[in-house]
């Protein structure tokens, strides 16, 4: 009985894995496979790092215009 | 009655677990959500959160002194958000079918509903900050610091939304990166048109998608 349940769990898992085709990006597949696990398993670390880097860059480029953007966004709701 | 309460509590438990999962591990949560039979019933809690937010936002914008204006504003927000949500569902599903997807509409609905969570988080936070630290921001050190932090927070939530959007197309429609890219290129102009329309009509300054 337990073997049937285990077998069924294994079959279900194999179906789950096989349902979505694997991702291929041509010549960039190796780089893609290195980058994506970071986004998959640490999404917030990636999001926070990326957002602070991008906002710091935007501040260096646009300067105090970002303050106006923040004010506009605060009215955005 | 007991069965109803037990079912409600059970659904609320699974919804909370998936809510935390969408925040911490969206990839694993979305994979599991696709196979969960109760996933479709959990979307009810998301719509309760959406309605709660619109009641709060209407009261904040219009005030509670005029019930008529409050009701009109609330109905306008609900109707526009519902139109946007349903239109987005159909666009994603029909476009996916056109490019050879084998997904089901119910899966698109389930996963796309959970992408409303970052939207609700951003709108609720912005509304609360409007009360606590009302705009406009000044050019003082604190003003600049808050602006940088707020924009970084907005970009993070936007990236979270983008991740959930990608996972919806990947798992619900079973598409690869190239087809997801193609769909995004087609969907983006439609989103821009919707956003501009909502802005011009004075309904949403930032689209509630």
Q: What is the pLDDT of residues A29-71, one digit of tens each?
A: 888 888 888 888 888 888 888 898 888 888 888 888 888 888 8
Query: Is a pLDDT exceeding 80 seen at residue A20?
Result: no
Helix axes A65-74, B141-172, angle to 10 degrees: 60
B163 → closest Cβ in A39, A64, A76: A39
Structure confidence by residue, pLDDT tens digits, B97-137: 999 888 899 999 999 999 999 999 999 999 999 999 888 88
Q: Tell me which range, A26-30, A31-35, B147-151, is most confidently predicted by mean pLDDT.
A: B147-151
Considering chain B, what percentage of its residues have pLDDT values greater than 70? 100
Contact between B159 and A66 using a beta-carbon 8 Å cutoff: no
CA dist B10 and B4 (Å) reads 10
**Cβ of B195 under 8 Å from any chain A Cβ?**
no
Question: Token pair for residue A24?
Answer: 């291929």
Residue B24 in contact with partner chain A when CB distance is under 8 A: yes
Q: What is the predicted pLDDT for the residue at A2?
A: 61
| Inter-chain CB proximity A21 and B174 less than 8 Å | yes
**ipTM score:** 0.80
Residue B170, pLDDT score: 92
Residues of B in Cβ contact (< 8 Å) with A76: 126, 205-206
**Interval B13-37 mean pLDDT:** 91
Within 8 A by CB and 6+ apart from B177, the residues are: A23, A25, A32
């Amino acid at each position: 009985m337990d073997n049937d349940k285990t077998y069924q769990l294994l079959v279900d898992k194999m179906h789950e894995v096989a349902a979505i085709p694997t991702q291929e990006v041509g010549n960039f597949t190796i780089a893609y496979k290195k980058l994506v696990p970071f986004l998959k398993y640490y999404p917030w670390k990636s999001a926070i790092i990326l957002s602070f880097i991008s906002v710091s860059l935007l501040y260096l480029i646009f300067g105090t215009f970002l303050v106006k953007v923040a004010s506009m966004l605060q009215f955005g709701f | 009655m007991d069965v109803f309460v037990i079912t409600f509590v059970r659904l609320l438990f699974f919804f909370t677990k998936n809510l935390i999962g969408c925040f911490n591990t969206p990839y694993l949560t979305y994979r599991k959500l696709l196979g969960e039979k109760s996933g479709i019933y959990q979307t009810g809690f998301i719509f309760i959160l959406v309605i709660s937010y619109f009641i709060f936002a209407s009261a904040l914008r219009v005030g509670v002194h005029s019930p008529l204006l409050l009701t009109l504003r609330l109905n306008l927000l609900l109707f526009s958000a519902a139109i946007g949500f349903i239109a987005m569902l159909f666009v994603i599903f029909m476009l996916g079918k056109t490019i050879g997807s084998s997904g089901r509409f119910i899966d698109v609905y389930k996963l796309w509903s959970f992408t409303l969570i970052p939207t609700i988080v951003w709108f609720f936070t912005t509304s609360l900050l409007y009360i606590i630290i009302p705009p406009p921001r000044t050019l003082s050190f604190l003003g600049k610091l808050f602006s940088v932090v707020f924009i970084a927070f907005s970009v993070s939530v936007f990236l979270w939304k983008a991740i959930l959007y990608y996972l919806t197309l990947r798992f619900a429609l079973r598409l690869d990166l190239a087809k997801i890219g193609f769909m995004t290129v087609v969907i983006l102009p439609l989103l821009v048109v919707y956003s501009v329309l909502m802005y011009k009509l004075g309904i949403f300054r930032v689209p509630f998608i």
